[in-house]
Amino acid sequence: MESLLVNSVEKNLTQFMFSNAIFLCERLLADFPSEVNLQLLARCYLSNGQPYSAYYILKGSKTPQSRYLFALSCFKLDLLGEAEAALLSTVEQQVIPGGAAGHYLLGLIYRYAGRKNSSVEQFRIALSCDPLCWEAYAQLCSLGVAEEASTVFGNVAAQRLQKTHVPQRINFSEGETKDQLIDSDKASKDISVWQTEHVPGENQQDLKVKQLGAEIPPDTDNQRNASSHTNGWDLNTPSPVLPQVLDVPPPMLYKNMRRPEVEGLMSVHGEPRKKFVCEEESSEAPEESRRRRSARIAAKRKIPMFHHSPSESNGVPSLSSMIGKCRIQSSKEATTSGQSINDTGSSVDDEQNSNPRGSSLDPFSLMSGISEMLNLLKILGDGHRSLHMYNCQEALLIYQKLSEKQYNTHWVLMQVGKAYVELQDYFSADSVFTLAHQKYPYALEGMDTYSTVLYHLKEEMRLGYLAQELIAIDRLSPESCANGRCASGNYYSLRKDHEAALKMFRRAIQLNERFTYAHTLCGHELAALEDFEDAERCYRKALSIDTRHYNAWYGLGMTYIHQEKFEFAQHQFQLALQINPRSSVIMCYFGIALHESKRNDEALKMMEKAIVADARNPISKYFKANILANLGDYHKALKVLEELKDSAPQESSVHALLGKIYKQVKLYDKAVLNFGIALDLNPSTSDAVKIKACMERLIVPDELETEEDL
């Protein structure tokens, strides 16, 4: 009954029938109380979104798996202290339950608790335990401390994966002794080096000496296949268990040579193989002596062996029959031999021939797959790291190295779109996000950034439709509603309804308290309402979640500028530039803060840097001209503004500043013309009042104008 219930619960979990799994698991635990069954019930609760139930049933458990599940439940309940205590209850033994997953969870706990150095250490340990733990590397990238992907996913990672997946793949019978397992472990070490012999005149890239820890080029299998077809000899990869049953190294692999004699096959360096005599002589001793030692040892140890194919002669099997692994047979070929040979427990008939190339356990296939996967992770890792270092041009070039199938996945498209956003290329970002949303309408990641792109493009109708669409995906999902509220907030902000926008952003925060961008957007709306104290509080909250969220540092700097606290503003902009040193917008407002502090030379240099960083950004050129005009260098200011007028002819502020400068150089006709153009471009109400005041004072003498200003 116990095994029946366990299998049923596992099946229900696989089929996402969580309620039924909980019901059956409660019956299981009632009749068969044990720690393992308790863990199974906790898994059911966690799968069903009931971490509080898993928390109460696992509290006080001491086994590693129970402590990991309990820590996960605490983390979901935001009980970071209890989660850390559960994972570190055996810290004196330096054992974290869950392996790489446990270290990753502990890293998240440390990060949320504001302990950056400890979290970085745990993420790196998680990567060392499992190089395929991508989320650990992504967290390191977001913290700004990730190493180059070629280092993280290099030879060390390949060796780790090969050690985990490639060595011994045979499950021995229950009666196997501890010594036999030790022998098997030794055998896996004996075959760490595969030797091949190169024939003079052949290409130097034919066959090379390879170690399991080294990377295998993608064409290794092709070379091996070409060799076998040339010689008519199936050169399959020796199994990790082969040296266990043979006291000789694996045979040499030959390319473009005649097949050696049978005796030569079992010899080493030309010396004949030693004959082994059975302890008990029989009348069939000559025939018995021809039997492989592997077969005789297997008969004693009851290790499952494969029979030879009919094509084999002289009782000597080919290398393919000596491979110590199994091929998962199809339903027509497999029989119920009862021998459990692979990790999944599949059974194969001893009478069937093994075909290593068709098996997923082929060492060369596994090693080739490891190499391909790590190469893919190197590209993705380099791109992700460059994006988080805000080297967006390089990130875009790296992502272009991906295949078309990988490039068009949702995650990659989101990364490309975010890179364009950081470059302020909103039209390109819009096209990428639109493509991603069309291909993956169910995906929610990155939709907050997509709504911001539509906000900058002033696409009011599309923004409102996107907000409704995101909420409609799943009205009961916090993630769906949070992204929808964020898009709604951008919609109302675009319409200058800051109160409604603030309400939407606060609802998004209620659904996800760690929504960093929503906190920042709340700060922007409060700053627009001139509630600078609450705006600063929102920015601080965003930074407490993610210290590298440079938008919050930028928002703090802007609030200080509005409050004329220019020294504080400079500090905030400086911190933002340390995170994103390529943002021309931050450089521009940093220059304004310097100018207001009477540090004009530094301000002009900062404006020049901003123009070099992004020549398309009109703000930096406008403020450079404004600083030059304030310094009395009108001719240079006019030159900058004339260039800016050609690139941004619809900006009323540019024409207004031109009118002021022409007034100062006493070119009143041009001043009136530019003031008129500025009014025709529908400036804001406050700007329109200022422009009209300047026009009225065109004929007023400078002395009287100065007195009026005073």
pLDDT, one tens digit per residue, over 409-459 is 999 999 999 999 999 999 999 999 999 999 999 998 999 999 999 999 999
pLDDT at 562 > cutoff 60? yes
List beta partners, residue 268: 271
Identify whether the C-beta of residue 370 lies closer than 8 Å to the C-beta of residue 161.
yes
Cα–Cα distance for residue pair 414/434, rounded to 1 Å: 10
List beta partners, residue 210: 194
Q: Band the pLDDT of 270: cuts 50, 70, 90.
A: very low
Percent above pLDDT 70 for the chain? 70
Look at 55-59, 497-501, 547-551, 706-710 and tell me which has the smallest mean pLDDT: 706-710
Of 384 and 242, which is predicted with more confidence? 384
Identify the burial level of 376 via C-beta atoms within 10 angstroms of its C-beta, where 0-12 means exposed, 13-18 middle and 19 or more buried: middle
What pLDDT is stored for residue 266 in this prediction?
Answer: 37
Q: What are phi and psi of 289, to 5 degrees?
A: -70, -25
Kindly compute the dihedral angle of the four CA atoms of residues 445, 448, 451, 456, in this order, to the nearest 10 degrees: -120
- 3-state SS assignment for residue 584: helix
- Those residues whose C-beta lies under 8 Å from the C-beta of residue 44, and which sit 6 or more positions away, are 9, 13, 18, 21, 22, 25
H or E element in which residue 481 lies: helix 478-494
User: What residue ranges in 126-203 does DSSP mark as E strands?
Assistant: 193-194
H or E element in which residue 593 lies: helix 584-596
pLDDT at 700 > cutoff 50? yes
Identify the burial level of 197 via C-beta atoms within 10 angstroms of its C-beta, where 0-12 means exposed, 13-18 middle and 19 or more buried: exposed
Cα–Cα distance for residue pair 110/282, rounded to 1 Å: 70
- 3-state SS assignment for residue 434: helix
Of 266 and 42, which is predicted with more confidence? 42
Cα–Cα distance for residue pair 515/399, rounded to 1 Å: 27
Look at 125-134, 224-233, 372-381, 595-604 and tell me which has the smallest mean pLDDT: 224-233
* Residue in the structure block whose two tokens are 């005599």: 277
Nearest to 212 by CA among 236, 233, 239: 239
List beta partners, residue 666: none
Cα–Cα distance for residue pair 339/171, rounded to 1 Å: 9
pTM summary value: 0.70
User: What residue ranges in 143-263 does DSSP mark as E strands?
Assistant: 193-194, 210-211
Q: Band the pLDDT of 579: cuts 50, 70, 90.
A: very high
Of 578 and 253, which is predicted with more confidence? 578
Average pLDDT over residues 654-680: 89
pLDDT at 148 > cutoff 90? yes
Cα–Cα distance for residue pair 709/697, rounded to 1 Å: 11
Q: Band the pLDDT of 699: cuts 50, 70, 90.
A: low
Average of per-residue pLDDT values in the chain: 76
Quote the tokens at residue 221. Answer: 């299998």
- Cα atoms in the Cβ-side hemisphere of radius 13 Å centred on 296: 15
Percent above pLDDT 90 for the chain? 49
Q: Band the pLDDT of 341: cuts 50, 70, 90.
A: very low
Q: Band the pLDDT of 1: cuts 50, 70, 90.
A: confident
Cα–Cα distance for residue pair 671/698, rounded to 1 Å: 8
- 3-state SS assignment for residue 191: coil
What pLDDT is stored for residue 90 in this prediction?
Answer: 61
Nearest to 496 by CA among 550, 455, 537, 556: 455
pLDDT at 244 > cutoff 70? no
Cα–Cα distance for residue pair 392/584, rounded to 1 Å: 13
Cα–Cα distance for residue pair 485/72, rounded to 1 Å: 28
Look at 221-225, 384-388, 514-518 and tell me which has the smallest mean pLDDT: 221-225
φ/ψ region of 229 (left if φ > 0, alpha if ψ in -120 to 50, else beta) reads: alpha
Cα–Cα distance for residue pair 216/362, rounded to 1 Å: 14
Look at 88-92, 576-580, 704-708 and tell me which has the smallest mean pLDDT: 704-708
Of 216 and 506, which is predicted with more confidence? 506
Q: Tell me, what amino acid is at 432?
A: V
Average pLDDT over residues 297-315: 40
Kindly compute the dihedral angle of the four CA atoms of residues 453, 457, 463, 469, in this order, to the nearest 10 degrees: -50
Query: Exposure pattern of 143-161 as b/e (b: 16+ CB <10 Å)?
Result: bbebeebeebbbeebbbbb
pLDDT at 347 > cutoff 50? no
pLDDT in tens, 65-111: 999 999 999 999 999 999 999 998 765 556 889 999 999 999 999 99
pLDDT in tens, 43-62: 999 999 999 999 999 998 88
Q: Band the pLDDT of 227: cuts 50, 70, 90.
A: very low
- 3-state SS assignment for residue 646: helix
Return the CA Rg of the chain.
35
Q: DSSP string covering 89-117, please? A: TTGGGT--TTTHHHHHHHHHHHHHTT-HH
Cα–Cα distance for residue pair 706/704, rounded to 1 Å: 5
What pLDDT is stored for residue 152 in this prediction?
Answer: 93
Q: Band the pLDDT of 471: cuts 50, 70, 90.
A: confident
Nearest to 237 by CA among 248, 217, 223: 223
How far is residue 688 CA from its own chain's centroid? 49
Cα–Cα distance for residue pair 687/427, rounded to 1 Å: 28
pLDDT in tens, 6-23: 999 999 999 999 999 999
- 3-state SS assignment for residue 662: helix
Of 463 and 308, which is predicted with more confidence? 463
In SS3 terms, 607-634 reads as HHHHHHHCCCCHHHHHHHHHHHHHCCCH
Average pLDDT over residues 647-655: 85
What pLDDT is stored for residue 220 in this prediction?
Answer: 43
Nearest to 447 by CA among 423, 424, 472, 425: 472
Average pLDDT over residues 200-221: 39
CA dist list (Å): 368 to 217, 222, 304, 375, 378 = 7, 11, 28, 11, 15
CA dist list (Å): 519 to 157, 410, 555 = 38, 25, 11
Average pLDDT over residues 220-240: 40
Of 360 and 508, which is predicted with more confidence? 508
